[in-house]
Amino acid sequence: MDYAKSFFMDISVLRLGHRLPRDERISTHVALVARAFGASSIAYTGQHDAGLEDSVRKICGNWGGKVSIEYVKSHTSFIRKAKADGYCVVHLTMYGLPLQQKAPELRKRDKILVVVGSEHVPGEVYQMADFNISVTNQPHSEVAALAITLDRLTDGRELLPPEAGGFDFGGKLRIVPAERGKTVVNQ
Amino acid sequence: MDYAKSFFMDISVLRLGHRLPRDERISTHVALVARAFGASSIAYTGQHDAGLEDSVRKICGNWGGKVSIEYVKSHTSFIRKAKADGYCVVHLTMYGLPLQQKAPELRKRDKILVVVGSEHVPGEVYQMADFNISVTNQPHSEVAALAITLDRLTDGRELLPPEAGGFDFGGKLRIVPAERGKTVVNQ
């Protein structure tokens, strides 16, 4: 495992077309997966949702980490700016090229913006993306697609304890893994 | 990769405590991930939801695969019967032992029932499970936890094409992976 490399990968996630109440929970799952799997910032388009932002901030308050969340009006200007800032734009779509085929190439990048769609993704996203990437070519879930993508980009770093190269969230709440039941330490 | 082994692993998924309308989409994502990542059957408790079952059947009708979905009233009798039938019961919970620690042991089993909770998981599930397993000890998503678990149990088989040991869904719709846009073959 190449910890040094994954340590320096700057991962940002853009969730497209958030709608209320329909996407309330799915977008929250997208955001929490982004955080737990190593992203440092989350942006979303569609409807502004203070509840979504609060959820993410509450999780960071309790469980640590410094992931930011911001609402953006235009995905095109956001993606254009990310590209100008040196981000490699990876759009997840079941129609794209297989993740396993492109992962070695993507892992060489220092800055990646992962774009996660909702029901209808505007055509220009496919054009603006540096890579259109599929996590299987079967219909399933943008939450799962994001998790598997970040898992592959960081060499499964989300599963490692901090002392083995995993993310150190440094939250006031911390779980002590247990065979049965729940053990939470409040520091 | 140990294709022969994963080929013979019988994977079943039990989703606990489905509530309408709150869990409508999350449970659908759980079910579609189960299908795309190799499960052969899905069961759920909580509220009966014909829409959830229809979604899964529609996906199978178009995209293939033979995953079944059934509503069960009692998770305790379902889990008890699964254990009697030789299933190893793996309950996913952020409080459990790390997936990466237990995966080698789980991969030796032929029949696995993955139990996926919702907001409140009854205490007896922790007791009845053969393994309480965490996919990171951070709060994120049961959809992502299921995806990463099935990915590790099957050696990433969901990402492989059928000719390399991947699942062959044999659906009437099939995607031809493309650099841009959407290419779907209707057979």
Tens digits of residue pLDDT in A106-148: 999 999 999 999 888 999 999 999 999 999 999 999 999 999 9
Select from B30, B89, B140 the residue whose CB has the most chain A CBs within 10 Å, as the one to mutate to test that interface: B140
Which chain A residues have a beta carbon less than 8 Å from that of B158?
136
Domain boundaries, chain A: 3-186
Of B26, B138, B184, Cβ closest to residue A25: B26
At the second CATH level, the architecture of A3-186 is 3-Layer(aba) Sandwich (3.40)
The per-residue pLDDT for range A35-80, each reduced to its tens digit, is 999 999 999 999 999 999 999 999 999 999 999 999 999 999 999 9
Helix axes B142-153, A24-36, angle to 10 degrees: 50
The answer to whether the CB atoms of A138 and B177 lie below 8 A apart is no
pTM above the 0.90 mark? yes
- Contact yes or no for A178 and B96 at CB 8 A: yes
Contacts A–B by Cβ distance under 8 A: 161
Query: Where is B127: in which H helix or E strand?
Result: helix B123-128
Supply the DSSP string of chain A, one letter for each residue.
Answer: --HHHHHT-EEEEEEEEE-TTTTHHHHHHHHHHHHHTT-SEEEEEES--HHHHHHHHHHHHHHB---EEEE-S-HHHHHHHHHHTT-EEEEEEEEEEEHHHHHHHHTT-SEEEEEE--S---HHHHHH-SEEEESSSS---HHHHHHHHHHHHTTSGGGS-GGGT----B-SEEE---SSS--EEE-
Cα–Cα distance measured from residue B161 to residue B158, given in angstroms and rounded to the nearest whole number = 8
If you measure CA to CA, which chain A residue comes closest to B151? A148
Per-residue pLDDT tens digits for B139-186: 999 999 999 999 999 999 999 998 899 999 999 999 999 999 999 999
CA-based nearest residue in chain B for residue A64: B138
ipTM for the whole predicted complex goes beyond 0.90:
yes
Per-residue pLDDT, A5: 43
- Look over chain B and give the mean of its residue pLDDT values, rounded to a whole number: 95
